[in-house]
Amino acid sequence: MSVFPKDFLWGAATASYQVEGGHDADGKGLSNWDLFSHLPGTTYQGTNGDVAVDHYHRFREDVALMAELGMQTYRFSISWPRLLPQGRGEVNEAGIRFYSELIDELLKHNIKPMITLYHWDLPQALQEQFGGWESREIVDAFDEYARLCYQRFGDRVELWSTFNETIVFIGMGYMTGAHPPRLTDPKKGIQACHHVFLANARAVKSFREMGIDGQIGFVNVLQPNDPISDSPQDRRACEIAEGIFTHWLYDPVLKGEYPAELLAMAQQAFGVPYFVPGDEELLKQNIVDFIGLNYYKREMVAHNDDVDGYAINTSGQKGSGRELGFKGLFKLVRNPNGVYTDWDWEVYPQGLTDAIGRIVKRYGNIPLYITENGLGAKDPIVDGEVRDQPRIDYLRDHIQAIGAAIEQGADVRGYYPWSFIDLLSWLNGYQKQYGFVYVDHNDSLARKKKQSFGWYQRVIATNGEQL
């Protein structure tokens, strides 16, 4: 018998900027990524999402493939500037129509939509008007956008999440400078992160006030940290890293407060986050219904006495994920015994079971969805077939790791591998593939099922029994 509950949801995920294209179609406004990806030296060989895989025009064909795969749910994000070209105010009805038709098409095939409101594409107008996430004004703007989405799609969509991976868009946007708005300013970053938590709380409040029949959650990276040695310094460094990478991001949305020790450290070092009266209550009173967990890898931690700064990159490779650290506190280091992908991410399925266990221990048995998990690789084409056995192995081991967490009592309700289709990797172009469906960039973006497609079809059909 399968360890997965009968109503467990099997799906897959994408995000607007990475699949849609149609960057200026039918009245869409400019996003921060539309601008950023066109600046010299920002992305792999100057790749961008102008066309991406043209899901905007081909969504019916894509949904047909999802249905053939047997997907029961599909996680996608809404492009804020497609609905509100200036970020606030005038609504672009053509944008509403696109998502509305996508939702109807999914429902027609019995695929439950899970909407992410913010997967990093900010209306550039808001960046220019008041500095985007740096300003408190973003909280009202985000609430207005969220309400518009609830109003137009809330009759048909039950699963919502406000944000995707704050650590990435804030960490890379404001600490390492690798994402827009390209700043290296922890003070601004910590405050911007506070505004994300406030915006989440306001959007959760509106969701409930508007009586939307569904659940609303928050999606975070799930990155377990382990110390590289047993020394007290490395263990302490790991505690701090875990506090920053996990507790700082999860506590405000699940407990309505920051972890006390780290809050004191941040306020002492940078004078932020800065609270105004009402912030604490807003956070406390608007706890999310579930948490979405994006799991790819573990990161080992060592005490850091030598590498200076906070954007330190101990890997030397762009996008390795080992860019953030703090002199005197910690750095992320390679595991000498680890198995790594071509992009230097540690493959460690056990970490998924462990990390879910840590979440349950700290926050109780809250509903969980695994909202991303996958292997980024260059898939070989042999005799015209896309052979992605390493992806099958990766996903199988991680599905087993989720099964183990369920057996230990965790309330995991669904699984969304990243990604349904090969798409744009933010900084790595189209060469880092994740999908069950291959896209031929030399043949007018033709779709082709990979080896993993048939495999995942069986996994879904047997509710995870046949891996």
Residue 29 vs 319, nearer CB to ligand BGP: 319
Nearest-angstrom CA–CA distance, 359 and 365:
8
Residue nearest to ligand BGP (CB): 425
Residue 406: left if φ>0, alpha if ψ -120 to 50, beta else—which one?
alpha
Residue 319 vs 464, nearer CB to ligand BGP: 319
Residues belonging to the active site:
372
Q: In angstroms, what is the minimal distance from the CB of 50 to ligand BGP?
A: 17
Residue 182 vs 327, nearer CB to ligand BGP: 182
- Could you tell me the strand order of the sheet in which 331-333 lies? 225-227, 299-302, 331-333
Cα–Cα distances (Å) from 342 to 7, 12, 339, 387, 437, in that order, read 36, 23, 10, 16, 20
Contact residues: ligand BGP, CB under 6 A:
15, 18, 164-165, 168, 294, 319, 372, 376, 418, 425-426, 428, 432
Residue 418 vs 436, nearer CB to ligand BGP: 418
| Non-local CB neighbours of 110 within 8 Å, separated by 6+ positions | 67, 72
Q: In angstroms, what is the minimal distance from the CB of 246 to ligand BGP?
A: 15
Please name which of 394, 383, 382, 381 lies closest in space to residue 439, comparing C-alpha atoms.
381
Give the amino acid at 191: Q
Please name which of 351, 340, 349 lies closest in space to residue 377, comparing C-alpha atoms.
340
Residue 217 vs 319, nearer CB to ligand BGP: 319
Could you write out the DSSP letters of every residue in 393-421?
A: HHHHHHHHHHHHHHHTT--EEEE--B-SB
How many of the other CB atoms lie within 10 Å of CB of 24?
11
**8 DSSP assignment:** P
Q: What is the CA radius of gyration of the chain?
A: 21
